[in-house]
């Protein structure tokens, strides 16, 4: 099939907006707000995508000159993406609170009627892998949506955000790469949409996505090998052995969205363990691990901290970090075997 025919077929398919409306009944407690919330994320994604694609042409590359709450140096695009998502989500009057990886504390959203009746809170990593933007490597956005647990109409509280991942009602990620894709789940499978930049519309391109049961790719920063737990070291040696369809291929980009997306399509495991320069692992439970774990499980994969299911962990703080093992189910389970042996 020619490239022209492929594009024509995609454009004659279902748009993200149509998909959201058609599947609105899948949303628990649905009264339309969650559909509008997903739509607002879609809008913010297109704004950020436009700016990412201008990198090198406008003054958006490089460091911002400040650190975020994690002590990480912010990039200019970090700040821009954070402002775009917060502004877009705030204006739709569908969320009562937002927590961002870039902010010290959560943000309470009060609508124009000075009310806090909205049901949902959003946790977001506005620009995952932003240190890669200067070298034109794929970056992304990760989001997680919960129904608040405190009474509607009252100010949002920390407990609304410190919910285990098994309480998520929707989660997704956007990858800004050779094409821009938005992948999300509401607990009824995973679907991927590709942006046609010429008309600014997302089309359903990857329906009912599934992570292969097994794979041949392991993604881990082996530069930290000496600091890894013994179980991780032993698993890496296992991946490198020449037997039973091994050695596996090592692929590590350093952008979670990009590494996860590749393994989602091809099969593989992503590992960011403890024992590195970040004693509890580098990735944030609420902004990165829980949403990716939700997507992985909905696509037939698995996610754990090496011992326990990620989505069963009870968060204790907004920017909590945990080790992360995620991807093809059989590969994660094999890694857990090595972790249990130590």
**pLDDT value, residue 27:** 62
Answer whether 0.85 is exceeded by the pTM: yes
**pLDDT value, residue 64:** 43
**pLDDT value, residue 78:** 83
**pLDDT value, residue 60:** 46
**pLDDT value, residue 116:** 58
Tokens of 88: 């877009």
For residue range 264-278, list pLDDT tens digits in order.
999 999 999 998 777
- More confident position, 235 or 59: 235
Residue 186 has pLDDT above 70, yes or no: yes
For residue range 37-54, list pLDDT tens digits in order.
989 999 999 999 988 877
Determine the average pLDDT of the residues in 70-77: 63
- pLDDT-based confidence at 62, cuts 50/70/90? very low
**pLDDT value, residue 5:** 42
Strands of 201-206's sheet in order across: 107-108, 95-100, 120-128, 139-147, 168-176, 180-185, 190-196, 201-206
Determine the average pLDDT of the residues in 88-114: 86
- More confident position, 93 or 103: 103
**Residues annotated as binding site for Mg(2+)?**
101, 125, 127-128, 288
**pLDDT value, residue 295:** 98
**pLDDT value, residue 35:** 82
Residue 340 has pLDDT above 90, yes or no: yes
**Residues annotated as binding site for substrate?**
128-131, 221, 252, 282
Least confident of 79-88, 124-133, 157-166: 124-133
For residue range 201-221, list pLDDT tens digits in order.
999 999 999 999 999 999 999
**pLDDT value, residue 72:** 54
- pLDDT-based confidence at 147, cuts 50/70/90? very high
Residue 55 has pLDDT above 70, yes or no: no
**pLDDT value, residue 73:** 55
**pLDDT value, residue 79:** 87
- pLDDT-based confidence at 75, cuts 50/70/90? low
Do 132 and 139 touch, CB atoms closer than 8 A? yes
Out of 3.40.50.720, 3.40.190.80, 1.10.3720.10, 3.30.2020.30, which CATH number does the structure's domain 217-341 have?
A: 3.40.190.80
Determine the average pLDDT of the residues in 281-306: 97
For residue range 107-128, list pLDDT tens digits in order.
999 865 545 578 899 999 999 9
**Residues annotated as binding site?**
101, 125, 127-131, 221, 252, 282, 288
Determine the average pLDDT of the residues in 21-46: 80
Residue 191 has pLDDT above 60, yes or no: yes
Residue 155 has pLDDT above 60, yes or no: yes
For residue range 233-256, list pLDDT tens digits in order.
999 999 999 998 999 999 999 999
**pLDDT value, residue 150:** 95
> Any idea where the domains of the chain sit in the sequence?
3-206, 217-341
Residue 25 has pLDDT above 80, yes or no: no
Fold classification of 3-206 is Fructose-1,6-Bisphosphatase; Chain A, domain 1 (3.30.540)
**pLDDT value, residue 131:** 76
């Amino acid at each position: 099939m020619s490239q022209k025919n492929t594009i024509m077929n995609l454009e004659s398919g279902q748009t993200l907006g149509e998909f959201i409306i058609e599947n609105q009944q899948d949303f628990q407690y649905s009264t339309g707000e969650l559909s509008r919330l997903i739509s607002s994320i879609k809008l913010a994604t297109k704004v950020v995508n436009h700016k990412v694609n201008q990198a090198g042409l406008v003054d958006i590359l490089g460091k911002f000159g400040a650190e975020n709450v994690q002590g990480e140096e912010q990039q200019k695009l970090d700040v821009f993406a954070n402002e775009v998502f917060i502004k877009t989500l705030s204006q739709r009057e569908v969320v009562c609170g937002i927590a961002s990886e870039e902010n010290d504390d959560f943000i309470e959203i009060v609508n124009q009627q000075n009310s806090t009746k909205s049901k949902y809170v959003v946790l977001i990593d506005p620009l995952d892998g932003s240190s890669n933007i200067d070298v034109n490597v794929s970056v992304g956005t990760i989001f997680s949506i919960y129904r608040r647990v405190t009474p509607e109409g009252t100010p949002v509280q920390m407990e609304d955000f410190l919910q285990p991942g098994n309480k998520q009602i929707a989660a997704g990620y956007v990858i800004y790469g050779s094409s821009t894709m938005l992948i999300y789940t509401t607990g009824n499978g995973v679907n991927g949409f590709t942006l046609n930049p010429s008309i600014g519309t997302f089309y359903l391109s990857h329906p009912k996505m599934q992570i292969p049961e097994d794979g041949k790719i392991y993604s881990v920063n082996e530069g930290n090998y000496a600091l890894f737990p013994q179980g991780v070291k032993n698993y890496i040696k296992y991946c490198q052995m020449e037997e039973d369809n091994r050695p596996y291929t090592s692929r590590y980009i350093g952008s979670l969205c990009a590494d996860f997306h590749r393994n989602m399509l091809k099969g593989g495991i992503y590992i960011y363990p403890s024992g590195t320069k970040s004693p509890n692992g580098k990735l944030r439970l609420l902004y990165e691990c829980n949403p990716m774990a939700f997507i992985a499980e909905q696509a037939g994969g698995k996610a754990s901290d090496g011992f326990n299911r990620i989505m069963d962990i009870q968060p204790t703080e907004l920017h909590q970090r945990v080790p992360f093992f995620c991807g093809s189910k059989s590969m994660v389970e094999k890694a857990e075997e090595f972790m249990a042996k130590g």
